[in-house]
Amino acid sequence: MDESAAERVPPTQPHKTKTKRRFLFSCNGVLNWPISDPTNNWVDAVASSSLTRRAVVGAFAASLIPAGSKVEAQEVKWSSGSAKPRVTAPPGAIDCHFHTYDKRYPPMAGATLLPEDASPDDYRALQGRLGTTRGVIIQPSTYGTDNRLQIASRQALGAENFRVVAVVAEDISDAELRQLNDQGVRGVRFNLGFPGVLTVASLKVLAPRLAELGWTCQINMRPKQIEENANLLMALSGRLVFDHLAQVPQPGGLDSAPYKIIRGLLDRGKTWIKLSGAYVSSKSGPPDYADAGAVASAYVKAAPERMVWGSDWPHPSEREHKPDDARLFELLAEWSQSEAMLKKILVTNPTELYGFSPSAQ
């Protein structure tokens, strides 16, 4: 967390009758004035018109922490910073994108991402820092179609509360798919920006079969690949899930061709977006990734019922400097803009998408 975190919460004035407040922002991100709203308990802070959007987001994030709570430091492997987020995760919160790594499992020949070990115990520490309790483990490009580690990690973390997105061969048998389904797999990842066994053409072959199982096609494409395959993406059956904000390029952002294609897919009702990996395409960079944040906010506004979130821990693409996971979690709260929306993205939506028990909501 950056040093300005302590400056983000303006003091509140004591009063006999609390007036809950939400905030109106101008197009340049500067707070104009608080709007009284007795039905909204999202923010209880009075701010001056000179406060920036970031200052107010800090204030509303702080409002999610129960009175008397302490934001304690907690070191987590493969994550910068140590402070917990100034946002309280709702019960049953689901992290829909993380990986585990273990050198005892051989990498696929030609794999380009070869991170150090990141174990289920390491991930439990991240859960403790963020407050999530459930998750979806994503097969990384490192291991090709050998899904043993991610499936074993699900068992180690607790099978009831975790699902897996696997990588499979294009000609996988129906029996093998059913076996993976019994092991908690609920989708196949088409990680098309890295060397692997699946290609763009594999989407057309596998999508109908995955749809029959109720699985997702999870797609990680470069922006140029999205442009080149727009018609194919529009024609695919079943549910599509795009990783990392669909890698909308910057500085083009909302004006770029890939964003417009993804918006078209969203409007058709079968596409979901992972609000993850803001650093993948951002040019403005940490701690706020403002350019990627504008894309995330637009997605939430367009299709709030089909947004999910993922930490992308242990951030395998970020080799030089790992991001601050607490700050990334706070950014999700900023993009969500309300407590109800945060719960929808962290609990309601992924429960439906990956078949979790609704009882934890």
Active site (catalytic) residues: 312
Q: Are 281 and 312 in contact (CB under 8 A)?
A: no
Sequence-distant (6+) residues with CB within 8 A of 236 are 203, 204, 207, 217
Helices (H), the chain: 53-62, 120-130, 148-157, 174-182, 200-213, 223-228, 230-235, 257-268, 278-281, 290-302, 325-336, 339-343, 349-354
Say how many residues make up the chain: 361
Three-state SS for 137?
A: strand
Between CA 35 and CA 299 the distance in angstroms is 25
Between CA 202 and CA 219 the distance in angstroms is 11
Task: Classify each residue of 13-25 as buried b or exposed e, where b means 16 or more C-beta atoms within 10 Å of its C-beta.
Answer: eeeeeeebbbbee
Residue with tokens 């993406």: 233
In the sheet that 162-166 helps form, which strands lie side by side, from edge to edge?
A: 94-98, 134-138, 162-166, 185-191, 216-220, 239-242, 271-275, 307-309
Three-state SS for 32?
A: strand
Residue with tokens 């909501």: 361
**Going by DSSP bridges, is the β-strand pair 185-191/307-309 parallel, antiparallel, or unpaired?**
unpaired
